[in-house]
Structure 1
């Protein structure tokens, strides 16, 4: 089985548009079929972007990625950013809702899609990963169904409950039952509705705060139960050699058998900036040399695919910059060169906001 990934947002800031949000579903099932059957086939990881961004993608799927590329004079054609097929899973969806909605068909269609989301997996509570979850929350149309379940680590859920949905920063929508917060324990698998997916959360390091305390983030391993296909999606994180932990190594040990077996379809990982001078503060993020070294660590654990042949690595959370070249193009070029030098036969892609692809 293949997964279809739709990056509602793929930006790591500082621009406020299109920050991280990813919808994942089985590739062979269309959004129209999911809406009509109401089968819980959708998983959302992070919600920095939401209903408006999805409406724009449904209305004009080419416009959203091109807006990002238009910021730089040296951007590549959009198809050159990926090593996997790009798709248009929302084609025609707006027209299906034109006759039945007083709003635009794209807006109504986006509400229908979001209405089929039962769970949002939040990697950490930074604003670029939760902004739309907060702003969209009063407009969620559950139509008598169970509240939207927001899953995350204890750190994430406590942050949302105590510092966001607290009747100060934002209304408390937890107590009335519009949202349900679910604390997930690291490495303890849990099932999504109808046991379509089994999800395992891992703790990772996102650097340290201003007070010096470690800031935890999360990665999610998604296992499609009927097919055995898997995909791992990371929040913001740093290299083990920087954090001084073995948290990434623990994930590589967990997924290495799936890499060897060919059932791990992709890694979705951050790489926030191109290579920076030594000593530059990274704020808990990866650069291409760090990501390449982490992939090398994974490869060392895969005796049958020691070069990670054909493993898809999809980069998200690239930070835009008003200086220099297109950072996505630069990261793509640097990663491909570094992986070649290390003998890694991975397929590198860089996601753009509004882009969908199959892995």
Structure 2
């Protein structure tokens, strides 16, 4: 399996906290590069050195041959130039990781970037940090700013250990040709393209001219009833002009009627498409993301539009996506995250698009596919917020005819469609979010192969409860598999084990 894989993925940190040593950090490399310098890309940096050291400590010295090459474990095949796990981890960080892709600037995704960066040697050149402009703006102005942490970047008179690479949302059409159009270099052997997704909402604005965030509200608790002062003594007087910070007295329910409430904005996160230069195979790695059904827009649908043709051609092999909570969590307490019922609904949207593209193949008889309109409780269609199963499962024989992405009926199959974004309300289960059509899984229950057959979905960013009993990920995977089987998706749901390598 390993010799046929295009990617090796090492999940250093699979959780979303609260342990600080186990939060999001993923290493990806093309297997064709054989651990050459700058051949590894890190997606997010909540955990980097700590996770690498932890894995190396399990492999040294028992699994290193006389030439210093690891013979097993996530770093198998890597020649270690030093004796200790710490020294070899520093070597991996300095010399093998060519760039860090950051999905969004929350601490559980960037804290290691700050703590680890001082060990870089300026003589090797700056380490690239690639992200959307709003993400880099937050990192530049609020972390590497000589206040929270020294300015280690090569901008504004910094130390020059990091360099910022501002990505074009949806891909830069000036780069690449053919199927690689829009992709830019991530590291040796890998290309990447970044699409924006939503991670909740807040009252803040990113100004591209000033490259600053002007914040005037809470990211999470602005409308939470527990944050509203119950007695006058708790009220805090604040300036509600642009740039001021949130306080309980700034709650919209306490604002004077004459004061205009600023509109809400989305918390921007990212989904990175990673493409193997040799084989053209791809994976997607999501940052924190919420479902379109409770979001202010339809960002996920744009990702699925870009992903669907790659599934049809067999190029997209795996999706790494968060599912932070189990289905026992109400929408109002997801705070911009996924739970199984929402993730399976999102994947059903992807599945429906895959089948539409399959039906459009030349010579294929089109099948009628019905979409259930947004459903209410008790209706036949599945509501995105419903906790019931999507339908009954059935075992199918699966065969698929190879098909080129260029055969898809698009003027440019690699251009992400521009889908109008719709403003919604709070999205707290009241039905005031954007209208999202509900796929009808029964319409493809007898399809062979099932729409997402062959795609592996790896679940990351599970919120650990630190309680006795089974870890939350066990219940989340069980719920995902039950919903996925009922929805006739055909994909495989997996929890990555940091002690094991993933070959894709």
The two structures have a TM-score, normalised by structure 1, of 0.84
Cα distance, 1:358–1:350 mapped onto 2, change above 3 Å: same
Q: Could you tell me how far 1:309 is from its partner in structure 2?
A: 0.6
Q: Could you tell me how far 1:279 is from its partner in structure 2?
A: 4.4
Cα distance, 1:253–1:60 mapped onto 2, change above 3 Å: same
For structure 2, list consecutive stretches of 5 or more residues without a partner in the other structure.
Answer: 61-71, 172-181, 203-217, 223-263, 359-448
User: Which residue of structure 1 aligns with residue 113 of structure 2?
Assistant: 133
SS in 1 for 2:289: coil
User: Which residue of structure 2 aligns with residue 336 of structure 1?
Assistant: 481
Paired residues for 1:12-51 under 5 Å = 12-27=16-31, 29-31=33-35, 34=36, 38=37, 40-51=38-49
Contact 2:6-2:276 within 8 A present in 1 as well: no
> Which of structures 1 and 2 has the bigger CA Rg?
2
Paired residues for 1:177-326 under 5 Å = 177-188=160-171, 189-192=182-185, 196-209=189-202, 210=218, 212-303=264-355, 304=358, 306-323=450-467, 325-326=470-471
Contact 1:206-1:285 within 8 A present in 2 as well: yes
SS in 1 for 2:354: coil
Which is strand-richer, 1 or 2? 1
Cα distance, 1:296–1:92 mapped onto 2, change above 3 Å: closer
Query: Which stretch shows the higher mean deviation, 281-290 or 9-18?
Result: 9-18
For structure 1, list consecutive stretches of 5 or more residues without a partner in the other structure.
Answer: 63-86, 99-103
Cα distance, 1:262–1:190 mapped onto 2, change above 3 Å: closer
User: Which residue of structure 1 aligns with residue 101 of structure 2?
Assistant: 121
* CA-based RMSD: 2.1
C-alpha distance in structure 2 between counterparts of 1:92 and 1:343, whole Å: 39
Contact 2:327-2:340 within 8 A present in 1 as well: yes
Cα distance, 1:297–1:141 mapped onto 2, change above 3 Å: same
* Equivalences, count: 322
SS in 2 for 1:60: helix
Cα distance, 1:201–1:194 mapped onto 2, change above 3 Å: closer
Q: Could you tell me how far 1:49 is from its partner in structure 2?
A: 0.6
SS in 1 for 2:9: strand
Alignment partner of 1:52 out of 5, 29, 50:
50
Contact 1:232-1:268 within 8 A present in 2 as well: yes
User: Which residue of structure 1 aligns with residue 75 of structure 2?
Assistant: 90
Which is helix-richer, 1 or 2? 1
Query: Which stretch shows the higher mean deviation, 302-311 or 6-15?
Result: 302-311
Residues 134-175 of structure 1 show CA distances to partners (whole Å, capped at 9, x for unaligned) of 001111235x22210001111110001100000000001112
Q: Could you tell me how far 1:121 is from its partner in structure 2?
A: 0.4
Paired residues for 1:122-161 under 5 Å = 122-141=102-121, 144-161=123-140
Contact 1:111-1:141 within 8 A present in 2 as well: no
The two structures have a TM-score, normalised by structure 2, of 0.61
User: Which residue of structure 1 aligns with residue 151 of structure 2?
Assistant: 172
Runs of 4 or more above 4 Å deviation = 91-96
